[in-house]
Amino acid sequence: MTLIILLAGIILLIVLIAWAKLNAFLSFLVVSILIGLCNAMPVTTMVKAMEKGIGDILGTLSIILCMGAMLGKLIAESGAAQKISESLAKAFGVKHILWAMVLTAFIVGIPLFFDVSFVMMVPLIITVSKRYNIPVVYIGLPVVAAVSVTHGYLPPHPAPTALVAAYNADLGLTMLYGLCIAIPAVIIAGPMFATRLKKYNNKPPDTFASKDLPENELPSFFNSLFTTFLPVLLIAVATVCEQFISHKNFVTNFFIGIGNPPVAMIIAVFYALYSLGLKRGRPMTELMNHLVDAIKDISPILLILAGAGAMKEILTETGVNVQIASMLNSFHVHPLLAAWTISAVIRIALGSATVAGLTTAGIIAPIIVTSGVNPCLMVLATGAGSLIFGHVNDGGFWLFKEYFNLSLKDTFKTWSVMETMVSVIGLIGVFILNYFIA
């Protein structure tokens, strides 16, 4: 019965947003309440679950998204995004600038969380789209595909790292095998799939669209690049200190501290205020106005993500993920396919790749020893399943929709299809590797 209620809730959510044109945040709240009531949840329990879900998602993302929006606005208004895009075009040629952007996103995505990578790449995506008259979805989807794949497949991201520990896998081999699968997944679900997306001519919000400034008013290439990717540097150094240095001291703890994603984003914003603003003679009032504009544009996205968090927590409280996992666990299939399937179904039900991966780990981990399957491949199979078909209960779905100004229907046809391709290609890659290394 819980699964039927879940399906009805998702359908109702789509109807409220797409047909009734109800605000997405209000739609999430209405559906969350109805799902709770249909599952006979006491009102007090339901309200606490919604508060927890909203608090968890905002507690995790509010600093990152707000700071990312501020940083993006400063990068756009200062001409830093213009400078980087011009330099990429000169180095790779306008014809190959998409591949340059994908490569950049893939490198950035390895040390950074998905949300950080996403908000960091948005100003560059929109600037390149506007400057070279390239459809924003055509260039944006491959870039987002790159950061999505690293989020699902590769340590040090939370779910893959936790799966490595849960499955007792080798971190280095998991990274190596993950790269072997991630690269073709990004190419196929990114640039190759994007050749079908040139018809999307929607205009993204103007917040991150940089103005065309004369060359003498642009910051230097080094200043633009260093300021834009300062969070990458801070978080990468923290990751190395945390993962590969066993004996911690004051220095390593310091770098781990400043490399914490919210802290790194705050440091980057203040550095951008100086390097792209004050240092170049911009008045503080002008810079603060840019930051206010950035927050105005990001607030609706935060509310939508908060609503998705409320719904996810309600579903978690009903135990639907445990029910799905128990049901699928009774089928006798190859362990790699079982891990992918369980993770995929939970992902579709709850929308969270991390929850899907960690829930699957609790079920699959005990059978790894007896099955004889390579635990590194089990990490990748689980991670691939956790990326499948992001839809209305997926925060990434709404980030992509709102930042690139897409309709609900077009977001399904782009983001959801891309995520499914990444997931299925990952499963195929896992079985190919299993054939050679088993």
Instruction: Say if residue 438 is in the same domain as residue 333.
Output: yes
Q: Is 207 within a domain?
A: no
Helical ranges in 365-416 per DSSP H: 368-371, 375-385, 395-403, 408-411
Q: Is 81 within a domain?
A: yes
Q: Is 211 within a domain?
A: no
Q: Is 125 within a domain?
A: yes
Instruction: Say if residue 298 is in the same domain as residue 331.
Output: no
Instruction: Kindly tell me the burial class for residue 180, based on how many C-beta atoms sit within 10 Å of its own C-beta (0-12, 13-18, 19 or more).
Output: middle
Instruction: Say if residue 193 is in the same domain as residue 299.
Output: no
Q: Is 370 within a domain?
A: yes
d(CA 31, CA 5): 10
Q: What tokens were used for 302?
A: 């935060």
The domain boundary residue, chosen from 278, 306, 334: 306
151, 352 contact by CB (below 8 A): no
With 0.85 as the threshold, say if the pTM is over it: no
Instruction: Say if residue 351 is in the same domain as residue 432.
Output: yes
Handedness of CA 404, 410, 415, 418 (dihedral sign): negative
Instruction: Say if residue 105 is in the same domain as residue 228.
Output: yes
pLDDT of residue 364: 79
The domain boundary residue, chosen from 273, 306, 339: 306
Task: Give the 3-state secondary structure of 73-98.
Answer: HHHHHHCHHHHHHHHHHHHHCHHHHH
Closest CA to 343 of 386, 391, 389: 386
pLDDT of residue 412: 95
Instruction: Say if residue 113 is in the same domain as residue 221.
Output: yes
pLDDT of residue 307: 86
Instruction: Say if residue 258 is in the same domain as residue 404.
Output: no
Instruction: Say if residue 425 is in the same domain as residue 379.
Output: yes
Instruction: Kindly tell me the burial class for residue 300, based on how many C-beta atoms sit within 10 Å of its own C-beta (0-12, 13-18, 19 or more).
Output: middle
363: number of Cβ within 10 Å: 19
Handedness of CA 340, 401, 395, 239 (dihedral sign): positive
Instruction: Say if residue 253 is in the same domain as residue 398.
Output: no
Q: Is 196 within a domain?
A: yes
The domain boundary residue, chosen from 257, 273, 306: 306
Instruction: Say if residue 408 is in the same domain as residue 335.
Output: yes
Low-confidence ranges of the chain (pLDDT < 70): 60, 111, 156, 158, 206-211, 321, 325-326, 328-331, 438
Instruction: Kindly tell me the burial class for residue 191, based on how many C-beta atoms sit within 10 Å of its own C-beta (0-12, 13-18, 19 or more).
Output: buried
First to last CA, the chain: 40
Q: Is 6 within a domain?
A: no
Q: Is 393 within a domain?
A: yes
Instruction: Say if residue 162 is in the same domain as residue 239.
Output: no
Instruction: Say if residue 258 is in the same domain as residue 328.
Output: no
Q: Structural domain tally of the chain?
A: 2
Domain of residue 300, residue span: 55-135+216-306
* Measured torsion, CA atoms of residues 232, 233, 238, 244, in degrees rounded to the nearest 10: 100
